């Protein structure tokens, strides 16, 4: 089908077509809400650094492009306090970028470079779940946390290693679902719930 510019909105029961993005692309990152969304990066005929904002009606190109053009990055947070995590250029990236509503700046780097990770939470409380540490053949189960400054490891891993999975919610009440479990693009139908307390983090299949 090639690169797409279409967008769709969900009202809790059904999907409807929203206005098209200005640049058709694939493997882009996104964050925010339905009335204050942000898309960034992606791939057209090459890697792009373009950023577009959505106001609930239409998409607008903004001047604050990514510092590093990338695809395979995902994000957390809001349109004025967002985070782009990892991604891919000629290899997976460990670099992350923070968005303040107008410009991007360097954030804390991932301990392991990866792309297509599931990201959920806020700028100062984010988790990155799974992903691929190469072009897609090596998927991982690691769950890393970001506090707005630095990433930490050592949390309970996903039960199923996967990349390109969906993710939603917060670090204390989130889900990771679907995705690919190997380099042969074997699809997963499982959903995992992420729960965090002061002393422990658990990730369980449901």
User: For 24, which DSSP code?
Assistant: -
Phi, psi of 166, deg, nearest 5: -80, 155
pLDDT at 44: 95
Q: Taking residues 76-92, report their average pLDDT.
A: 97
Nearest to 174 by CA among 191, 159, 162: 191
Rounded Cα–Cα distance for residues 153 and 128 (Å): 10
pLDDT at 198: 30
Question: What Å distances lie between residue 203 and 117, 144, 149, 165, CA to CA?
Answer: 16, 12, 24, 15
Write the pLDDT tens digit of every residue in 138-164. 999 999 999 999 999 877 899 999 999
Strands (E) located in 44-199: 51-54, 59-61, 74-78, 81-85, 96-99, 104-106, 118-122, 125-132, 139-146, 151-152, 166-169, 174-177, 191-196
Asked whether residue 203 carries a pLDDT value surpassing 60, the answer given is no
**In terms of pTM, does the model score above 0.85?**
yes
**pLDDT in the model for residue 172:** 86
Q: Percentage of residues in the chain with pLDDT exceeding 90?
A: 84
For each of the domains in the chain, give its residue range(s) and CATH number, in order of start: 7-205 (2.120.10.80)
pLDDT of residue 200: 36
Quick: pLDDT tens for 19-31: 999 999 999 999 9
Distance CA 181, CA 186 (A): 6
Quote the pLDDT of residue 25.
96
- Separation between Cα atoms, residue 56 and residue 70, nearest integer Å: 25
């Amino acid at each position: 089908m090639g690169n797409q510019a279409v967008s769709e909105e969900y009202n809790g029961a059904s999907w409807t077509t929203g206005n098209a993005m200005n640049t058709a692309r694939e493997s882009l990152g996104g964050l925010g809400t339905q009335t204050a969304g942000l898309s960034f990066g992606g791939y057209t005929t090459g890697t792009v650094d373009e950023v577009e904002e959505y106001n609930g009606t239409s998409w607008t190109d903004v001047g604050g492009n990514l510092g590093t053009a990338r695809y395979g990055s995902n994000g957390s947070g809001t349109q004025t306090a967002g985070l782009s995590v990892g991604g891919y250029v000629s290899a997976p990236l460990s670099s992350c970028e923070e968005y303040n509503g107008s410009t991007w700046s360097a954030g804390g780097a991932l301990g392991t470079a990866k792309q297509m990770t599931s990201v959920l939470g806020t700028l100062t409380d984010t988790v990155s779940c799974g992903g691929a540490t190469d072009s897609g053949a090596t998927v991982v189960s690691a769950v890393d946390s970001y506090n707005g400054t630095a990433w930490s490891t050592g949390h309970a891993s996903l039960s199923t290693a996967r990349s390109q999975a969906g993710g939603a919610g917060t670090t204390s009440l989130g889900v990771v679902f679907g995705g690919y479990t190997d380099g042969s693009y074997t699809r997963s139908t499982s959903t995992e719930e992420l729960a965090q307390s002061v002393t422990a983090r658990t990730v369980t299949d449901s």
